Amino acid sequence: MSTIAFIGLGHMGGPMAGNLVKAGHKVSAFDLSQPSKDAAAALGVGIAGSAKEAVADAEIVVTMLPAGKHVLGVWTDILPAVKPGTLLIDSSTIDVESARKAHALAAERGCLSLDAPVSGGVGGAQGATLTFMVGGSADAFKRGEPILSAMGKKVVHCGDAGNGQAAKICNNMILGISMIGVSEAFVLAEKLGLSHQALFDVASTSSGQCWSLTTYCPVPGPVPTSPANNDYKPGFASALMLKDLKLAQEAAQAAGASTPLGSAAAQVYGLHNAWGEGGTDFSGIIHLLRGRGNS
């Protein structure tokens, strides 16, 4: 049993903190939002009066916040109150540069740290089936791995500081591009008089096979559990896809990598979200590709 502080109890953080309680850990948590605190408290999570109060006795601190500026703000605030030797884990999806800055802040205080963003969405957070992509030293990983395992089903050490975030944005860039590709193929099939099911039956067992087709198929029918069968709800919100594609573009620019399709995917999702689709599943991009009003 470990004493864990958890900061950021939103859609993801609340159920993740709840799973740490279920695994027998003592969790002291904080969020700025009262509804988030109430929902986490209902899962048995202890609520502290402030982030600093939450971390005071912690052996491990987990943060699950919207973006890099929030993570750097919270880590700067709590580090003076954290005991040296504490392990800090950030599971938010943030830019690689901020993640590396956060590691440096922790090191200055004599703490270990990991960047450990997740894949698997709210369902994965609730069911403790997330995949964690982890960056940081071998020592930090060894200490953090059992804690992350209580919230997920797969924990992958991707290398040094920031490499968890690097793996996350590379994966989601593949996902954003592949969903547009699959959607374009369905739109072309419709124009050519080929049924959705026929395209699915061929492509899902041929070289066009990919997760966007076989798990999140953007048309209703072939994959009954895909968000397309539920009016493109809830799934993985287009706004979050755009966030991750923008992070990939920032990283590509900083690193001098050429990612023309990643850049195009960010533009396409930007347009989709500007039409008010940020809250629906990212497979709804097929509506934009058909031409709005033709869905």
Site string for ligand NAD, 120-149 (x = CB under 6 A): -xx---------------------------
User: Residues 202 to 221: which contact ligand NAD by CB under 6 A?
Assistant: none
Site string for ligand NAD, 53-82 (x = CB under 6 A): -----------xxx---x--xx--------
Total residues contacting ligand NAD by CB under 6 A comes to 27
CA distances from 105 to 32, 80, 111, 133, 268 (A): 22, 10, 9, 21, 36
* Closer of 30 and 216 to ligand NAD (Cβ): 30
If the CB atoms of residues 41 and 122 are measured against ligand NAD, the closer one turns out to be 122
Task: Output the six-digit token pair for 117.
Answer: 């963003």
Cα–Cα distance measured from residue 166 to residue 213, given in angstroms and rounded to the nearest whole number: 24
Residue carrying structure tokens 């969405």 = 121
One residue of 2, 3, 11, 184 binding ligand NAD per CB under 6 A:
11
Of 113 and 186, nearer to ligand NAD (C-beta) is 113
Which listed residue (37, 52, 101, 168) is catalytic? 168
Site string for ligand NAD, 35-54 (x = CB under 6 A): -x--------------x---
- Please, what is the minimum distance in Å from the beta carbon of residue 238 to ligand NAD? 11
Residue choice 86, 92, 178, 280 for contact with ligand NAD (CB under 6 A): 92
Element (H, E) at 26: strand 26-30
Nearest to 131 by CA among 103, 182, 91, 163: 91
List the one residue from 4, 5, 6, 7 that touches ligand NAD (CB under 6 A): 7
With CB atoms as reference, the residue minimizing the distance to ligand NAD is: 10
Coil, strand, or helix at residue 30?
strand
Nearest-angstrom CA–CA distance, 182 and 103: 38
What's the closest the beta carbon of residue 68 comes to ligand NAD, in angstroms? 9
Considering only the stretches 10-18, 155-163, 212-220, 280-288, report the one whose residues sit in contact with ligand NAD under the rule CB under 6 A. 10-18
Please provide residue 155's backbone torsions phi and psi, each rounded to the nearest 5 degrees: -130, 115
For strands 118-119 and 130-135, give the pairing: antiparallel
What residues numbered 232-271 form the site for ligand NAD, per CB under 6 A? 236, 240, 243
User: Is 101 part of the annotated catalytic residue set?
Assistant: no
Give the Cα separation of 151 and 126 in Å (integer): 9
CA distances (Å), origin 90, targets 132, 226, 254, 271: 11, 30, 22, 30
- Minimum Å gap between C-beta 77 and ligand NAD is 8
Rounded CA-CA distance 126/12 in Å is: 8
CA proximity to 4, closest of 43, 41, 46, 59 = 59
Distance CA 5, CA 146 (A): 15
Q: What is the DSSP letter of 80?
A: G
Among 4, 5, 6, 8, binds ligand NAD (CB under 6 A): 8
User: Residue 184 CA to chain centroid, in angstroms?
Assistant: 25
Nearer to ligand NAD by C-beta: 222 or 284?
284
Q: Is 118 in the site for ligand NAD (CB under 6 A)?
A: yes
Distance CA 241, CA 178 (A): 12
- Binding positions for ligand NAD, rule: CB under 6 A: 7-13, 30-33, 36, 51, 64-66, 70, 73-74, 92-93, 118, 121-122, 236, 240, 243
Give the residue numbers annotated as catalytic, written as ranges.
168
